[in-house]
Amino acid sequence: MKTIIRGGIVLGAEKPLKKIYIGVDRSKIDVVSQEEPIGYEDAELNVGGWDRLVAPGFITLHTYISLYPFRYRIFSGRINANSLMSTMSQSDVYYFALLGAYHLMRTGVTTVVFSDRYNDNVARAVINVGLKPIIAVPVGCNNSPENWEKEFRILYNRWSHEGSNNVILRLCEPQDSIEVFEIAREYKIPVLVDRHVDLSQFKDIPNTVIALGGGGRGDFDTVKNNNLKLSFTPSFETSIFPLSELKPSMALDLVPNFDLRHEMSVAVNRLLLTSEEAFKAVTEWGYKQLNINAGVFLKDSSADIIVLEFREPPSFPLDYASPYDNLVYGGYNIETVFVNGEAVLDGGVPLNVGLKDVEEAIKRVEEIDKKVGERLRSLEKS
């Protein structure tokens, strides 16, 4: 299947490009050209326009996608996330993750790294929406499986295959580091390391480690001096100096807005990154940390693409002089999303998620609310 996409501004090449054609052949970028590419005269899809901005799909390096419907009350401390998770069935988790993935798609995310309970169900929900899932098996975390190593091997065999590693590890306690680092070396996979795990206490750190948190990490110098990778959530960041030297990625965690474009704007406003660097953090730099051939518009890179329209407010205008600011601060105007060259959102309408799915998810949210309310009342009586 061939698709041709036109963009008035195209980000994701070596520099911003003006009035460009992108040719997609099956799941890969085939051509990026100022002239209409040869061989695409009868392309099955022809989308975009000169009043559109085209960019690679975003990646978030960590989130709890099944808690999406409850993020406001968790953030405000009105409910405990662990208590909430204990009330959820596997089916609940699937539908809540479906809602979360639906939201991410509508905000331009095409690849999501998550660390949830019932990760297998979450991965299925993400795929059914049309996005790419990457499971981070939690080790020493509040939501860790009883036998994390067994869980990892099962999920790895089920979800990873040659040329595509979709299962990694997340380390929350230093006492598990030896085993986690050994498996990381054996399988050649990244390890997300929580901010309260001090990496300075370790002598032999795998180069696949991705430290969660920014300049506020107590071991920031260790991360920097060992050329380790960094992934941060701007809304939670207290760094007093720019982070661009480390080429960080971004993680949504469970911020209330659940929107990488908002996090990009926070990073820029706090002078942690420039607009161009913030864009790279959710595209090129993020994918590179996981060794994924995406996030850039180069031949044979993965055709994960978002198309944004700027014809009218609140997104107007398409500003050729400030293309990265255009993306970071523009209105919510994502028109089309491609994953592996297949449209999963077209004309702002999701193609894989129906009203019945959303209604079932909302019904289950109401049932969880009832369960949690009954438990709280029981505790109050006790």
Q: Which of 91, 85, 110, 61 is nearest to 252 (CA)?
A: 61
User: Rounded CA gap, 2 and 86, in Å?
Assistant: 46
User: How confident is the model at residue 375, as a pLDDT?
Assistant: 56
Structure tokens at 238: 């207290």
User: How confident is the model at residue 379, as a pLDDT?
Assistant: 43
Element (H, E) at 19: strand 17-25
User: How confident is the model at residue 253, as a pLDDT?
Assistant: 95
Q: Which CATH superfamily is domain 2-56+297-349 in?
A: Urease, subunit C, domain 1 (2.30.40.10)
Q: Which of 69, 75, 213, 193 is nearest to 139 (CA)?
A: 193
Assign 22 to helix, strand or coil.
Answer: strand
Q: Which of 143, 183, 177 is nearest to 160 (CA)?
A: 183
Domain(s) of CATH 2.30.40.10: residues in the chain:
2-56+297-349
Domain(s) of CATH 3.20.20.140: residues in the chain:
58-289
Biggest CA–CA distance in the chain, Å, is 74
User: How confident is the model at residue 75, as a pLDDT?
Assistant: 93
| 161-193: burial string, b at 16+ Cβ within 10 Å, e else | eeeebbbbbbbbebebbeebbebbeebebbbbb
User: How confident is the model at residue 93, as a pLDDT?
Assistant: 96
**CATH T-level topology, domain 58-289:** TIM Barrel (3.20.20)
User: Rounded CA gap, 232 and 224, in Å?
Assistant: 14
DSSP letters for 164-176: B--EEEEE--GGG
Angle of the 148-159 helix axis to the 119-129 helix axis, nearest 10: 30
Q: Which of 101, 63, 53, 102 is nearest to 325 (CA)?
A: 53
| 215 Rama class: left (phi>0) / alpha (psi -120 to 50) / beta | alpha
CB 336 within 8 A of CB 347: yes
Alpha helices (runs of H) in the chain, residue ranges in sequence order: 71-75, 81-86, 90-106, 119-129, 148-159, 177-187, 220-225, 260-269, 275-281, 284-289, 323-329, 355-381
Report the predicted TM-score, pTM, of the whole model to 2 decimal places: 0.95
In Å, how far are 32, 51, 256, 280, 302 from 287, measured between CA atoms?
20, 27, 24, 9, 11
User: How confident is the model at residue 381, as a pLDDT?
Assistant: 45
Per-residue tens of pLDDT for the chain, all 382 residues: 899 999 999 999 999 999 999 999 999 999 999 999 999 988 999 999 999 999 999 999 999 999 999 999 999 998 889 889 989 999 999 999 999 999 999 999 999 999 999 999 999 999 999 999 999 999 999 989 999 999 999 999 999 987 788 999 999 999 999 999 999 999 999 999 999 999 999 988 999 999 999 888 899 999 999 999 999 999 998 777 889 999 999 999 999 999 999 999 999 999 899 999 999 999 999 999 999 999 999 999 999 999 999 888 888 888 999 999 999 998 778 999 999 999 999 999 999 998 899 999 999 999 998 887 755 445 444 4
Contacts of 309 (CB under 8 A, 6+ apart): 49, 51, 52, 315, 333, 335
Distance from the first to the final alpha carbon of the chain: 63
Element (H, E) at 7: strand 2-10
